């Protein structure tokens, strides 16, 4: 239920071809978003290696070796580099971004005369609740191999289809891309969730837990219900103590504190996408009074619900654009 609320606000993809030795640098999400997706609140960066080898490293973190079929994701949009071989020549992503944002990227190759690495690079703009709910517990860099299973193979096909869709000029292609990108984003998170180590914490680890995950699903499925900890524990088939302790260990907050955040994220989505009155939205997500809802909403978003709606609806959504390097 929670992942279905993810909205990709912009999506850019391009193919890169790099011959060893090469080195490619991407700045942090705030610099990238300012150029390619200024209306996006968060930017998730990823690279799929379709041929060859590479090494990736987020600033301040360990190196990650990549081979064909690996997809490396930077959930928080950290600055990072990718390379193959030793070279002092650095290809800056900032050189491509202005062209990419306008769909003007011409043929672009980089590197020397060695083995070729082909990479599909993606930039997905999303709303900030994706960060606060799903991504906060993830590392700065994560890797999955999309050729190790049927489900993973679908991710590669979807990414390739996104690139093909962007190259076409048919009507509705941008709407199709937006939905494909959302599905791709969620499926990638699900694949990573399947491979999480036991000690991992955060939203995805909580969702995977047999008992606590059931409680999380119930909160998502029925956010307006007047949940109490005993009710939630009973419905989840566990004790209050186990639920409270395990939920807090995995999520860093209590089930009811999480529910309060989830309700406000749903409310923000309804304010943006419907014309329902503020009181109706408040009731939709479990508040009994508009005043209580408005106070909670302002604490979370910094402005009252009505103002939030006006400001967000006044913004012109940025249309997804992309380009391809041949």
Q: Are 301 and 241 in contact (CB under 8 A)?
A: no
pTM of the model: 0.76
Q: Which residues of the chain have pLDDT under 50?
A: 106-107, 316-326
So what's the pLDDT on residue 205? 80
In a shared domain, residues 185 and 237 = no
In a shared domain, residues 12 and 110 = yes
For residue 71, what is the domain's CATH number?
Answer: 2.60.120.280
So what's the pLDDT on residue 171? 66
| 190 in any annotated domain | yes
Q: Are 72 and 159 in contact (CB under 8 A)?
A: no
Which residue, among 302, 275, 279, has the nearest Cα to 292 in the 3D structure? 279
* Residue 74, token pair as written in the block: 């930077």
So what's the pLDDT on residue 63? 95
So what's the pLDDT on residue 107? 46
* Structural domain span for residue 215: 209-312
**Which of the 8 DSSP states describes residue 323?**
-
The two most distant CA atoms of the chain are separated, in Å, by: 68
So what's the pLDDT on residue 79? 92
Give the count of domains, the chain. 2
So what's the pLDDT on residue 133? 67
In a shared domain, residues 273 and 176 = no
Rounded Cα–Cα distance for residues 221 and 124 (Å):
26
So what's the pLDDT on residue 277? 96
In a shared domain, residues 33 and 166 = yes
In a shared domain, residues 187 and 274 = no
For residue 254, what is the domain's CATH number?
Answer: 1.10.10.60
| 325 in any annotated domain | no
Rounded Cα–Cα distance for residues 278 and 306 (Å):
7
In a shared domain, residues 178 and 93 = yes
In a shared domain, residues 153 and 217 = no
* Residue 181, token pair as written in the block: 């990108």
């Amino acid at each position: 239920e929670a992942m279905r609320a993810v909205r990709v606000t912009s999506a850019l993809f391009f193919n890169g071809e790099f011959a060893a030795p090469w080195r490619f640098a991407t700045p942090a999400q705030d610099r990238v978003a300012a150029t390619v997706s200024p209306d996006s609140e968060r930017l998730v960066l990823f690279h799929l290696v379709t041929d060859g080898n590479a090494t990736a490293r987020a600033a301040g973190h360990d190196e990650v070796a990549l081979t064909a079929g690996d997809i490396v994701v930077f959930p928080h949009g950290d600055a990072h580099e990718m390379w193959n071989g030793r070279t002092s020549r650095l290809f800056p992503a900032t050189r491509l971004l202005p062209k990419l944002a306008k769909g003007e990227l011409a043929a672009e190759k980089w590197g020397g005369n060695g083995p070729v690495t082909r990479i599909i690079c993606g930039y997905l703009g999303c709303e900030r609740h994706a960060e606060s709910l799903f991504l906060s517990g993830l590392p700065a860099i994560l890797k999955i191999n999309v050729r190790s299973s049927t489900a993973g193979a679908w991710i590669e096909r979807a990414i390739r289809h996104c690139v093909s869709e962007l190259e076409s000029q048919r009507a509705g292609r941008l709407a199709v891309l937006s939905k494909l990108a959302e599905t791709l984003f969620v499926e990638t998170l699900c694949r990573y969730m399947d491979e999480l180590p036991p000690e991992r914490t955060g939203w995805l680890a909580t969702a995977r837990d047999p008992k606590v995950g059931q409680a999380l699903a119930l909160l998502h499925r029925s956010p307006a219900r007047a949940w109490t900890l005993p009710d939630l524990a009973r419905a989840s088939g566990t004790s209050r103590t186990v639920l409270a302790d395990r939920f807090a260990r995995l999520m860093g907050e209590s089930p009811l504190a999480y529910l309060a955040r989830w309700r406000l994220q749903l409310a923000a989505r309804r304010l943006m996408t419907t014309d329902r009155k503020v009181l109706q939205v408040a009731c939709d997500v479990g508040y009994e009074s508009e005043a209580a809802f408005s106070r909670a909403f302002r604490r979370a978003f910094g402005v009252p619900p009505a103002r939030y709606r006006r400001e967000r609806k006044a913004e012109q959504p940025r249309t997804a654009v992309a380009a391809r390097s041949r």
